[in-house]
A and B are shown apart, each in its own frame.
Chain A
Amino acid sequence: MNGVLESLLKFILSEEFIRAAIFPGITFVLFYALFTVWYERKLLARVALRIGPLHVGKVAGILQLVADAVKLLTKEVVIPSKSSRKVFFISPVIGGFIPLLIFPFMPLGERWVIFPSDVSLLIVFAVIAISPIPFIIAAWASRSKYPFIGMIRLGFQLFAYEVPLFLALIPVIILSGSLDLKDIVYAQQTIPFILLLPLSFIVFLISSIAEVERIPFDLPTAEQELVAGWTTEYSGVLLEFIQLGVYLKADALAILTSLLFLGGWHGPDIPFIPPDIEQPLWLLLKSLVLLSFILFLRGVYPRITIDRLLDIGWRILIPLALLNIFIAAFLKIYIL
């Protein structure tokens, strides 16, 4: 009996378990997603001259999101009679969890990575590339008119913007000479890539905003045009999964941008704090700055139209991203 308890305790206290379950793992990720929603609501409230969540929880309505999540869980899931029931039910669940697969490969510090890999960048972007597919299937399974229009927009938008997103990565890979996110961060020890590749950074940021469907690029769910776009028929817990997936992707892309362009966890030394705590702190701070920028756009801009969106994607961002590859190659060969 003692042996069992001992080994169980050993397992729980082992670094692998803590990594997977607590810090860069599932607990942190879910709390970070909740925090993002709360932060968004507070920030937007400030822009719109409001206070935002206030009463639930002792400090600044911090528990409002828990209350909202519980409320959604208690709601009835309405399944349209014409829909294909199984697909309608399963695809948002899959879509909600696929973005979770990004986090094991994403280092938050020298020690804080759940599954170290030589090709972590490739894996992360493979996951990002497949993440919209369950949502498209979910919209298709609704068999309803507004989700149908929303789905077409989703397809157009995501496939148009994934190309510049991935093309903007190539300069980073050329300069760092590695597909490992850790090596990419190490390569930025002296100069973060945003200074070497400012255009690439802009292309990447705009594409990621479009990728996570934030205003001004929230066309697939455009509320006043398409009711709720491709999520129109979803309610209750299924809607919660969809929201989880979208917010996880937004968080992941904010952290990735700071890893790829803003120097990752490198920052000025803070005295008396061990580097293991300091590194994630700097990284999360940088991603929070990016996130604030992305969220501010929602307070400042209206939505743009689909033809303009595709125009920007295909005619401006892709040529810019291609140009950057040559700039990066030039930098690599002649300067660095």
Chain B
Amino acid sequence: MVLEEKKVIHVYDEGGPRLSFSYGPQHPGTGHFRMIVTVSGDTVVDLEPDPGFVHRGEEKMAEYKTWITNIPHFERPSILDATHMVLPYCLAVEKLMEVDPPERAKYLRTIVAELDRIASHLYWFSLYGIFLGHSTMFLWCVNDREFILDLSQLITGQRFTHAYVIPGGVRNDAPKTVPKDLVKEFKIYYMHMIGREPSQEELNEDFKKYVLNVADFMDLRLDQYYEMFFDSEIFIERTRGVGVLKREDAVKLGIPGTTLRASGVSFDTRVADPYDAYPYVKFKIAVRTEGDCYARAMVGFQEMRESLNIIRQTVEQMPEGPVKVKQHPVVIKVPKGEAIGRAEAARGEIIFYVVSDGADRPYRVRMITPSFRLLPALPHLSIGSRIADIPPIYWSLNYWPVETDR
């Protein structure tokens, strides 16, 4: 990785004594991650990221597990965004096996992946809020995330870490009907939040209608979020013009995902290298040109709307049919060779490089996670800013320590 030279900044007490302190891992604002911050007054003169607190050797572990039993493991680094962690692995294995999953499986994968993206972004915003001292934002996002997770559970059987995607399809089909209790609960919550009955004709136990209703509900809630948080004067003041990542710098540092798109580069793996059902749906890539913390938040915000659009389209278009190819449920043989799988995870592009020697387990698996690629941006943006700007910069990158450490 090419790291650019450290930014040099000028402070009024050049050469004077410096206060340097450990920002994490026991800190309410970092998670399993540490930065060693050196300040002059209120200005950050040096920031050294120190990841590795939750390293568990996922890549090495993968060499001792079979092709299928690896799947629940690969989800662990980012349980919020579990489908996207497995998807590129399955794509790579499918390339080696030369199988093509059935059409319905592709649509189901897309729905679950987009649900995960929304859930992950909601969690991102909830913590974004709490990092700026906005506890209401935290609780609103977490509350609404509940219905997205319920929907994931309905389809996959688990709220998150659903291990849903397997090489050659998905584990099980989506249900035809929704439990009565869930619909009733959703109706009450909808009434409470929006102030009127759900609009989609009649909300009933039909799966398709329920999904469309949840998508409409999230859309309306996003409008409320905009008024309450993103249009709030102090939120804008804390984030606009803070931590500006220029387009050239973003490209030079190899930054992926929402951060790259917030800096004005319109790159999305879903469009650049389409997989699953993405070629069949229409959506826009959310791009902003400012490159500051506010732009990064707004890219995520717009992406949630696009995800809802994708879910609506996929549910409408989803064909009937089988959801997986016929194969042994646990022991599969993968022919000799190597392959790469790419997908656009919530945090950015995730890449899996898989090598097989023809055995029942991988010879080598390499995960390239978006969070790790985001790491160089952190010192680049923080040096020269104030202590109070570290939380918005850190969290606007949508950095996830566990994903970095793997």
Query: Which residues of A are at the interface with B, using a C-beta cutoff of 8 A?
Result: 44, 47-50, 145-146, 148-149, 215-216, 218-219, 222-227, 298-308
Contacts and interface: CB of A to CB of B under 8 A. Distances in A.
A253 to B, nearest CB: 21
A298 B234 CA distance: 12
Contact of A222 (B129, B139, B388): B388
Contacts of A223: 28-29, 133
Nearest to B29: A224
Contacts of B134: 301-303
B398 to A, nearest CB: 16
A47 B391 contact: no
A224 B23 CA distance: 10
Which 8 interchain pairs have the tightest Cβ spacing? A303-B133, A302-B132, A48-B139, A224-B29, A302-B134, A145-B21, A305-B388, A224-B131
Contacts of A226: 387
B390 interface: yes
B183 interface: no
A302 B238 contact: yes
Given A146-B21, A304-B238, A308-B237, A224 B133 contact: yes
B238 A305 contact: yes
B28 A304 contact: no
B232 A225 contact: no
Contact of A301 (B19, B131, B232, B386): B232
B27 interface: yes
A221 to B, nearest CB: 10
Given A49-B140, A304-B238, A308-B237, A224 B386 contact: no
Contacts of B137: 302
A147 to B, nearest CB: 11
Nearest to B19: A145
Contacts of B283: none
A217 B234 CA distance: 11
Contacts of A302: 129, 132-134, 137, 232, 234-235, 238
Contacts of A224: 28-29, 130-133, 391
B89 to A, nearest CB: 34
Interface of B: 19, 21, 27-29, 42, 129-140, 143, 193, 228, 232, 234-235, 237-238, 386-391
Contacts of B21: 145-146
Given A218-B133, A302-B133, A304-B234, A225 B139 contact: no
**Main SS at interface, chain B:** helix
A308 to B, nearest CB: 7
Given A223-B28, A225-B29, A302-B232, A47 B238 contact: no
Contact of A149 (B135, B143, B228, B387): B387
A301 B133 CA distance: 8
Given A223-B28, A227-B27, 10 more contacts: A48-B136, A145-B21, A224-B391, A225-B29, A225-B387, A225-B390, A300-B228, A301-B234, A302-B137, A305-B388
B391 A225 contact: yes
Nearest to A48: B139
A69 B389 CA distance: 34
B94 to A, nearest CB: 42
A306 B42 contact: yes
B140 A216 contact: no
Nearest to A299: B136
Contacts of B129: 302
Contacts of B29: 223-225
27 contacts: A44-B135, A49-B140, A49-B143, A145-B19, A145-B21, A223-B28, A223-B133, A224-B29, A224-B130, A224-B131, A225-B388, A225-B391, A227-B27, A300-B136, A300-B232, A301-B234, A302-B132, A302-B235, A303-B132, A303-B133, A303-B388, A304-B238, A305-B388, A306-B386, A306-B388, A307-B42, A307-B386
B397 to A, nearest CB: 15
Given A301-B232, A302-B235, A304-B237, A216 B133 contact: yes
Given A145-B21, A302-B238, A307-B386, A215 B133 contact: yes
A226 to B, nearest CB: 8
B140 A48 contact: yes
Contact of A298 (B135, B237, B388): B135
Contacts of B42: 306-307
A146 B39 CA distance: 12
Contacts of B237: 304-305, 308
A146 B234 CA distance: 24
Nearest to A49: B143
B293 to A, nearest CB: 12
Contacts of A44: 135-136
A225 B29 CA distance: 7
Contacts of B130: 224
Contacts of B138: 48
A50 B192 CA distance: 12
Contacts of A215: 133
